[in-house]
């Protein structure tokens, strides 16, 4: 059972990473596949992260756990942010771009991150949002009873939707532009809804680890129904966590959760009957793929004509190659890729250790 769980989880994460890459394809598709990918793939990442959340019993343990997560998530964040920026600015200088105002404005957007960081940095919002979802839920489970946790999560979920309503319906316009009318460092406000998906992964851990066939078929029915009613125009459902586009209070739970159930159910079934090696391998290099797939396209776009398949394949293979080279030749390259097993993370309170 444990072996199957690990297999399906790694395969599921690898598949989600493929969907992340495909979801950033800049061209048009005849079928609105990307729209349906966005219905569930980012909530799935938060939910799967929550499955293996471990509650802490003291502030000392909380500080140790958060320090470890900081090293796993934010150290690679800054490493790839600096690396990509240095390459980008070097390329700009070769085109004789010496406008310091351009560099200052661009660098400011990179520092703010979240929905303000575009282009090669289009995915960095996820890491900061995941980390602060982890922070919120760590202290929530440490200091609040389960019932109080439910109330606080409901309030956060409601606040997130009020904010989304303001951006999407009051400000209006394209979601990427409308969301930028609400300033926020690192998309920390998106953690208000992301932590709900994270919490559902943690609270319902046993449910997610073994989804019954009956539940899977019901969720599949809900998923198919949602796609049909959206296709015929009875609903107009979109979900984009990065750009605050979650303005359907009930559907933002029902549709993503139904699709995540189907997604996990399928991978649990496949893991029981077949060996999956490619997808876990992709998951192994997921950090590099996440940070570099858009940048890969930006570099190669002048030399190749990209369709969705070539875009996805190059967005996976090139970052995997970079990841392998980092592991082999870069000192502590595994740390830059989120593996901190070689580093001793202190279990002392973070505030005390820095005083």
Report angle CA 296, 298, 304 to the nearest 5 degrees: 85
Q: What's the pLDDT score for residue 355?
A: 34
Q: What's the pLDDT score for residue 350?
A: 42
For residue 331, the 8-state DSSP code is T
- Here the tokens at position 12 are 């599921």
Tokens 């998951």 found at: 283
Burial of residue 220, with CB atoms counted within 10 A of its CB: 0-12 exposed, 13-18 middle, 19 or more buried: middle
Tokens 């598709």 found at: 29
Residues 304-338 pLDDT 10s:
999 999 999 999 999 999 999 999 999 999 999 99
CA distance 244 to 256: 15
Give the pLDDT mean for 274-290: 94
Residues 157-170 pLDDT 10s:
999 999 999 999 99
Residue 212 zone, left/alpha/beta (φ > 0; ψ -120 to 50; rest): beta
Question: pTM of whole model > 0.85?
Answer: yes
Tell which residue, 264, 261, 207, 211, has the closest CA to residue 8: 264
Continuous H helices in 24-56:
33-38, 41-51
CA distance 152 to 159: 10
> How far, CA to CA in Å, does 193 sit from each of 106, 163, 198, 290?
28, 11, 9, 21
Contact 251, 237 (CB under 8 A): yes
**DSSP output for 133-156:** HHHHHHHHHHHS-HHHHHHHHHHH
Q: What's the pLDDT score for residue 315?
A: 97
């Amino acid at each position: 059972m444990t072996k199957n769980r690990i297999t399906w989880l790694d395969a599921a994460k690898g598949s989600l990473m493929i969907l992340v890459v495909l979801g950033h394809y800049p061209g048009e598709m005849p079928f609105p596949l990307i729209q349906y990918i966005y219905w569930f793939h980012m909530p799935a990442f938060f939910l799967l992260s929550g499955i293996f959340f471990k509650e802490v019993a003291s502030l000392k343990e909380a500080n140790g756990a958060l320090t470890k997560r900081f090293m796993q998530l934010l150290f690679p964040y800054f490493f790839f942010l600096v690396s990509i920026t240095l390459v980008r600015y070097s390329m700009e200088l070769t085109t004789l771009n010496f406008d310091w105002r351009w560099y200052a404005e661009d660098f400011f957007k990179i520092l703010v991150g979240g929905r303000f960081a575009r282009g090669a940095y289009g995915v960095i919002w996820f890491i900061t949002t995941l980390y602060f979802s982890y922070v919120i839920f760590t202290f929530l489970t440490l200091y609040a009873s389960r019932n109080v946790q439910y109330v606080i999560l409901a309030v956060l979920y409601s606040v997130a939707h009020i904010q989304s309503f303001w951006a999407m319906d009051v400000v209006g316009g394209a979601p990427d532009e409308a969301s930028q009318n609400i300033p926020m460092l690192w998309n920390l406000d998106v953690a208000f809804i992301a932590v709900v998906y994270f919490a559902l992964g943690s609270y319902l851990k046993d449910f997610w680890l073994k989804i019954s066939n009956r539940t899977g078929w019901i969720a599949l029915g809900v998923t198919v129904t949602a796609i049909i009613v959206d296709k015929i125009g009875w609903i107009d459902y979109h979900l984009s966590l990065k750009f605050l586009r979650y303005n359907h209070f009930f559907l933002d739970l029902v549709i993503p959760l139904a699709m995540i159930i189907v997604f996990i159910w399928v991978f649990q079934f496949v893991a029981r009957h077949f060996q999956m090696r490619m997808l876990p391998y992709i998951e192994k290099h997921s950090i590099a793929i996440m940070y570099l797939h858009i940048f890969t396209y930006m570099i190669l776009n002048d030399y190749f004509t990209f369709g969705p398949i070539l875009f996805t394949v190059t967005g996976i293979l090139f970052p995997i190659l970079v990841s392998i080279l980092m592991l082999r030749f870069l000192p502590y390259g595994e740390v830059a890729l989120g593996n901190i097993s070689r580093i001793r993370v202190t279990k002392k309170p973070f505030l005390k250790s820095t005083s």
